[in-house]
């Protein structure tokens, strides 16, 4: 499906930059336009792939290109004030050519956390295309303020978008990595999963000999509302023509049964393995199973079995399925999109920590005000200047 990607804040911009690189690599062209919005000049300069003209600096009058710190209320304010600047970049998008908007932002910071929901409200008011969010949750060790920002932004963003796809940094970090190299690797994981899903909806039926190519309307119908998460599993196969020929020679015909079994087990692995946002799979309202790989390794039976398994697992009648043929690939894979998930312990934990942080911050503020008043107070023996 064709997307207008808008990266908000530092994390959002970097991830959209990666999406562009990925899109060029896979060549199926799901990115129609990529825009970055930020209140910090240096973050915009650091991007590599997003065209200069599509980089929008907001909040210049208030923060002079230095960013909003981790103040997401300020992030929301400057976005509202400068929404015309953002609209200026959006005006250049050939809107009739896109299937949806996708706003990408780290939820724990300031600019993206505050600005992304404001932009979602704005876009929904103007356009008929769905507006999706891709929200990145902070790792638990980033501290209370990031958690509080994320919890408040999450609440607002979910309400304002048609669907919020979530990626939790906490689940994906590795011990012993520097923050920078960690993010580089994590951003690859993000782009690969969500990129595969969106690229899948962009393949033309006529392009390949495929039995049931997934279509952008199936992605849109699955992303109907609420919160979504993605699982992905893959396996190397021998797809060289030599390898295939020898498979045909050895067994006389390509082993259809083995391909079906492999697909079914990949679908299970994808759904029960590490999700971008861990949740109870049974709580999903809707789902989409996409099998990927060389066309000769994809078969209708494999998708159908995987789809049926997910239907049993979720108890949902709205599980869709399809293929994303990738000729010349040496991997087969399965992407499982779970949408409308409601049993998400991580979100409950995030909210709990956020409430505690908010209470503690308010108490500390009240105490600081009191202490300052008593420091300045002379019991009426001195008069203030004015
Ligand atoms: P903003 O520029 O004010 O919107 O804030 P940032 O985007 O810098 O940071 C917000 C949050 O995003 C942080 O708390 C991190 O959890 C996360 N983050 C920052 N950079 C990256 C990145 O490159 N990749 C990922 N996955 N997360 C990031």
DSSP string, 159-185: HHSSEEEEEEHHHH--TT--HHHHHHH
Q: From atom 24 of ligand 1, which residue's Cα is the shortest distance away? A: 183
pLDDT in tens, 206-228: 555 455 888 899 999 999 999 99
Each residue of 149-158: pLDDT tens digit?
999 999 999 9
- 175 and 256, same domain (yes or no): no
- What single string gives the DSSP state of each residue in 306-344? HHHHHHHHH--S-EEEEEEE-TT-SEEEEEEEEES----
Q: Clarify whether residues 210 and 197 are in a common domain.
A: no
345 occurs within a structural domain? no
Q: What is the domain-level CATH number for residue 227?
A: 3.30.1330.20
How many angstroms separate the alpha carbon of residue 112 from the centre of ligand 1?
Answer: 8
Same domain flag for 117 and 214:
no
Which token pair is 225?
Answer: 């509302």
Q: Is 108 in the pocket of ligand 1 (CB under 6 A)?
A: yes
Q: What is the mean pLDDT of the chain?
A: 92
Ligand 1 atom 9 nearest Cα: 109
Does residue 383 lie within any of the structural domains? no
Give the tens place of pLDDT for each residue, 52-73: 999 999 999 999 999 999 999 9
State in Å: Cα 26 to ligand 1 middle. 26
* Helix or strand run (H / E) with residue 190: helix 179-200
Domains identified in the chain, total number:
2
In a 3-state reduction of DSSP, which class is residue 80?
A: helix
How far is the centre of ligand 1, averaged over its atoms, from the C-alpha of 340 (Å)? 25
Closest atom, ligand 1, to C-alpha of 139: 16
7 lines ligand 1 (CB under 6 A): no
Across 176-190, average pLDDT: 88
Nearest Cα neighbor of 335 from 259, 276, 260 is: 276
Residue pair 133/15 in contact by the 8 Å Cβ criterion: no
Beta partners for 335?
232, 290
Average pLDDT over every residue of 291-305: 89
Predicted structure pTM score: 0.93
Same domain, 185 and 213: no
Residue 363 resides in a domain: no
Prediction ipTM score: 0.99
Residue 303 predicted with pLDDT over 80: yes
* Boundary residue ending a domain (187, 202, 217): 202
The residue range of the domain holding 260 is 206-339
Give domain status of residue 213, yes or no.
yes
CB atoms within 10 A of CB 307: 20
Ligand 1: centre distance to CA 173 (Å): 13
**Residue 107 covered by a domain:** yes
Confirm whether 228 is domain-assigned: yes
């Amino acid at each position: 499906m064709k997307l207008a990607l808008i990266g908000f804040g530092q994390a959002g911009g970097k991830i959209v930059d990666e999406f562009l690189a990925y899109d060029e690599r896979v060549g199926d062209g799901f990115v129609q336009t990529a825009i970055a919005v930020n209140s910090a000049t240096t973050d915009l300069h650091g991007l590599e792939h997003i065209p200069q003209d599509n980089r929008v600096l907001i909040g210049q009058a208030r923060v002079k290109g230095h960013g909003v710190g981790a103040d997401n209320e300020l992030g929301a304010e400057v976005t509202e004030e400068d929404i015309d600047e953002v609209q200026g970049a959006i005006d250049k998008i050939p809107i009739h050519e896109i299937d949806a908007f996708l706003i990408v932002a780290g939820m724990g910071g300031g600019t993206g956390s505050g600005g992304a929901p404001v932009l979602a409200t704005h876009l929904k008011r103007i356009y008929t295309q769905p507006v999706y969010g891709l929200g990145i949750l902070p790792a638990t060790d980033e501290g209370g303020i990031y958690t509080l920002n994320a919890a408040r932004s999450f609440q607002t963003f979910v309400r304002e978008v048609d669907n919020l796809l979530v990626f939790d940094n906490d689940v994906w970090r590795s011990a012993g990595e520097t923050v920078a190299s960690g993010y580089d690797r994590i951003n690859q994981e993000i782009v690969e999963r969500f990129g595969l899903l969106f690229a899948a909806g962009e393949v033309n039926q006529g392009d390949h000999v495929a039995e049931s190519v997934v279509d952008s309307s199936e992605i849109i119908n699955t992303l109907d509302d609420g919160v979504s998460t993605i699982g992905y599993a893959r396996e190397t196969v021998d797809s060289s023509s030599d390898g295939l020929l020898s498979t045909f020679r050895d067994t006389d015909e390509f082993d259809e049964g083995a391909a079906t079994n492999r697909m079914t087990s990949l679908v299970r692995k994808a759904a029960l393995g590490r999700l971008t946002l861990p949740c109870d799979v049974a709580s999903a309202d809707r789902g989409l199973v996409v099998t990927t790989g060389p066309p000769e390794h994809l078969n209708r039976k494999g998708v159908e079995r995987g789809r049926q398994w997910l239907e049993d697992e979720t108890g949902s009648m709205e599980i869709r399925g399809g293929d994303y043929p990738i000729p010349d690939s040496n991997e087969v894979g399965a992407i499982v999109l779970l949408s409308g998930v409601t049993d998400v312990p991580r979100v409950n934990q995030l909210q709990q920590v956020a409430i505690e942080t908010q209470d503690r911050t308010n108490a500390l503020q009240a105490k600081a005000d009191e202490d300052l008043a008593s420091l300045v107070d002379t019991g009426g023996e001195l008069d203030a200047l004015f």
